[in-house]
Structure 1
Amino acid sequence: MYSMSRLLKESWTLVEEQQDKVARHFYARIFLSNPQLRDLFPVQMDVQRARLLGAIVSAVQTVDDPERFDEYLRSLGRDHRKFHAEPEHYDLLRGALLEALRTYAGDQWSLEYEQAWRDGYDRIAQAMIRGAEEDSDTPPFWHAEVIKHERRSRDIAVFTCRPMQAIEYEAGQYLSLETGYQPRLWRMYSPANAMREDNTIDFHVRAIGAGWVSSALVRRLRAGDMLRLAAPMGSMTLDRSSSRDVVFVAGGTGLAPIKALIEELARFNRNRWVHVFFGAKDRDDLYDLEALTEFASRYPWVQVVTACSDDPTWSGEQGNISEVIARYGPWNNHDFFVSGSPKMVKATMRTLAELQVPSMRIKYDAFGDL
């Protein structure tokens, strides 16, 4: 019996230790086949090289769960309109992928492996093309002007931009963003507010290591600069039909979508209590505490708990926020929203599993792969 999932995972082990070489071969084949496509990619290819190949491999290997991933893939197709992706480009990428895998798997590559990757990739491409077609009446991206930029800590900035045309998104979703300081490098950030009548959007950004985009957004961006924003994605959104109380768990700039969700709740909430757990390394990283305090004073149904993991002078809770939530509760009849770094989200998910919170009641947003 044909098992696509088994064949995909089995064949990937043949090249997994050489994935950097596979990625280089993959891109070389793309640019040799169509040199004009090089202009769609950033000058610095080191990060991008791993990103695109990794995304394709991950998507292909999970294609045996079509109901779960169909909507995600369709939204990915809508998002990829920003790259001016056309149906023929998907065929080109498939050929480059198969050649790279075939080359580095060597004699152990088989016709069965080839067919599994071809079938898996085609399912993904069809869903993404369908998503792009469904969204053809909206622009592939929006231009937006930065109207305010504030440094909130040593490596965190909060800025506000106004798109030239309104972008419709749901609180909790994220947008891809490109700055002129790093052309063709797109990164995902969550709006820190629900949709406003004036269309302005707030973003929270931490400069991460040598991150090309995040460093530019924190240290170089100024009022008057222009950005490009792509179609909204993500499913960490509110279920208005739920009557359960809500727990928001945020680490660092993971607070951004949580703020948007609280604003959205404030527009219709009548009987749901909201508990906000906000964690950071030290007091300096609790960069938006004033806004949370204002939420708590304005809405009697909001309760805020803050914690620092490495600041003995902090008068609030001590420890990682994933540990702090276990000191409160019980939580087995609440809706959870978790947002932060992959490490923080993983730790929180483990804690919630130990507390027997049903996984179907947990939505999360991690700034990276889980």
Structure 2
Amino acid sequence: MSDSQALRDSFALVGKSGDEVPRYFYSYLFLIAPEVRPMFPVAMGAQRDRLVAALGRIVAEADDPDRLLPYLRQLGRDHRKFQVVAQHYEAVGQALLATLAYFLGEAWTPELQHGWTEAYTLVARTMVEAAEDDARVNPPWWNGEVVQIEPRGFDLAVITLRLDRPMAYRAGQSVMVETPTLPSTWRSFTPANATRADGIVEFHVRAVDGGLVSPALVYGLRRGDVLRLGAPVGGRLTLQASGGRDLVLIAGGTGLAPMRALVEEIAWRGPARGVDLFVGARDARGLYDQQVLRQLAEANPWLRVTPLVGTDAGTVDNRSLAGPVLRAAHWHGRSFYVCGSPSMVSATVRDLAGAGVSHDLLHFEEDAR
């Protein structure tokens, strides 16, 4: 992108106006293209945060096409579930330039306008081309019929869907889910199973206090209901990142879901490797999937499952699990995967790095909430 430093500097200047920036952007967009309003949720707070995060990443990686272009292609594929088409990108570009001009004022020069126009043109073209390529092989979304709901506590359920067509994803990837009671409101979940030819997908869902989608799924979903699922995204927790090494998997709460999918993928497709899975919980009731994990360990001698409960786990939501893990597992040269609450993941990764685990062996993601 031309003069990417100028883009970063101007974006940083605009960012000083905080939440007013995405509010102005969406107000302008809905004014000039009212037909796109139904594509967005009624409550726009999370959507505004996603916009700022996406723009921030784009300008930060403007000089790194090897990272930026795959991200843009993923965005293009993922936006198909909103029924975004090529002409919508023109309105978005117009709203973006108007927003930048408004907040930059006299600093909005013809040179800067040219730079942002050129940058957005590249972004839009990459996303549109990726969406068109994806449309040749995949639907814009998958329909998943609820075939089973298993309460595993007052606020947690294991939900099994049967998709209308198989979805090819790698264990550790996530998908966006929309429930019929909350149209245009999507939330990210990670399947707890490896991809299956019969289209079965299992989700572990905890109802988040103050959330929208997760309580609707845990408390309001019924057998026979149909959910929409977006295209699989992400790659931080996939096995491709581990280079065939033995693994140490660390899960807190429903962060267990991607770890179980990883174990299934190894069991079904290999390559063979040793796996230590640590499952943190506040108390024994938090070990909601122990029966399945026990069966997996019995069937696969390379898998060892260790629960971390109570004092062993500290307070799982906000404490590091690195201590008991490093004491219990031979970890030198192994790849570490961590998923759970943001504070647990942050503390655990920090302590693993402090103990000498190299950065390239640390793979982590916060459990979607």
TM-score where L is the length of structure 1: 0.89
- Asked whether 1:217 is paired with 2:217, we answer yes
- Asked whether 1:63 is paired with 2:62, we answer yes
**Root-mean-square deviation (CA), in Å?**
2.4
Cα distance in 2 between the residues matched to 1:368 and 1:147? 23
Q: Is the contact between residue 278 and residue 321 of structure 1 (CA under 8 Å) also seen in structure 2?
A: no
Shift of 1:330: 4.6
Cα distance in 2 between the residues matched to 1:54 and 1:68? 15
Q: Is the contact between residue 322 and residue 351 of structure 1 (CA under 8 Å) also seen in structure 2?
A: yes
Q: Is the contact between residue 252 and residue 281 of structure 2 (CA under 8 Å) also seen in structure 1?
A: yes
Cα distance in 2 between the residues matched to 1:167 and 1:294? 25
Q: Is the contact between residue 178 and residue 187 of structure 2 (CA under 8 Å) also seen in structure 1?
A: yes
Paired residue for 1:365? Answer: 365
- Asked whether 1:85 is paired with 2:84, we answer yes
Q: Is the contact between residue 331 and residue 355 of structure 1 (CA under 8 Å) also seen in structure 2?
A: no
Paired residue for 1:280? Answer: 281
- Asked whether 1:333 is paired with 2:333, we answer yes
Paired residue for 1:19? Answer: 18
- CA change 1:109–1:286 in 2 (3 A) is farther
Cα distance in 2 between the residues matched to 1:360 and 1:46? 34
The residue type equivalent to 1:261 in the other structure is L
Paired residue for 1:29? Answer: 28
349-358 vs 172-181, greater mean Cα deviation: 349-358
Cα distance in 2 between the residues matched to 1:327 and 1:107? 59
Q: Any residues of structure 2 matched to 1:145-164 within 5 Å, and which?
A: 145-164=145-164
Cα distance in 1 between the residues matched to 2:104 and 2:282? 44
The residue type equivalent to 1:259 in the other structure is R
Shift of 1:77: 0.9
268-277 vs 215-224, greater mean Cα deviation: 268-277
Q: Is the contact between residue 322 and residue 344 of structure 1 (CA under 8 Å) also seen in structure 2?
A: no
The residue type equivalent to 1:205 in the other structure is V
Shift of 1:274: 0.3
Q: Is the contact between residue 341 and residue 367 of structure 2 (CA under 8 Å) also seen in structure 1?
A: yes
Paired residue for 2:300? Answer: 299
Shift of 1:269: 3.9
Paired residue for 2:6? Answer: 7
The residue type equivalent to 1:263 in the other structure is E
Shift of 1:318: 4.3
Classify the secondary structure of the residue corresponding to 1:15. Answer: helix
Q: Is the contact between residue 170 and residue 195 of structure 1 (CA under 8 Å) also seen in structure 2?
A: yes
Cα distance in 1 between the residues matched to 2:105 and 2:162? 52
Classify the secondary structure of the residue corresponding to 1:224. Answer: coil
Classify the secondary structure of the residue corresponding to 1:262. Answer: helix
58-67 vs 210-219, greater mean Cα deviation: 58-67
Shift of 1:325: 2.4
Cα distance in 1 between the residues matched to 2:340 and 2:257? 9
Question: How many pairs does the alignment contain?
Answer: 363
Shift of 1:52: 2.8
Q: Is the contact between residue 248 and residue 277 of structure 1 (CA under 8 Å) also seen in structure 2?
A: yes
Identity %: 41
Shift of 1:249: 1.5
Cα distance in 2 between the residues matched to 1:127 and 1:360? 29
Cα distance in 2 between the residues matched to 1:279 and 1:120? 45
Paired residue for 1:130? Answer: 129
Cα distance in 2 between the residues matched to 1:270 and 1:38? 47
- CA change 1:170–1:270 in 2 (3 A) is closer
216-225 vs 12-21, greater mean Cα deviation: 12-21
The residue type equivalent to 2:9 in the other structure is E
Mark the runs of 5 or more structure 2 residues left unpaired by the alignment: none
Cα deviations by residue, 1:16-57 (Å, 9 ceiling, x for unpaired) = 242221111101111111111112112222332332343233
- CA change 1:107–1:324 in 2 (3 A) is farther
Cα distance in 2 between the residues matched to 1:120 and 1:156? 44
Cα distance in 2 between the residues matched to 1:328 and 1:156? 29
Cα distance in 1 between the residues matched to 2:352 and 2:120? 35
Cα distance in 2 between the residues matched to 1:196 and 1:274? 22
Shift of 1:109: 3.8
TM-score where L is the length of structure 2: 0.90
Cα distance in 1 between the residues matched to 2:121 and 2:289? 45
Cα distance in 2 between the residues matched to 1:322 and 1:283? 20
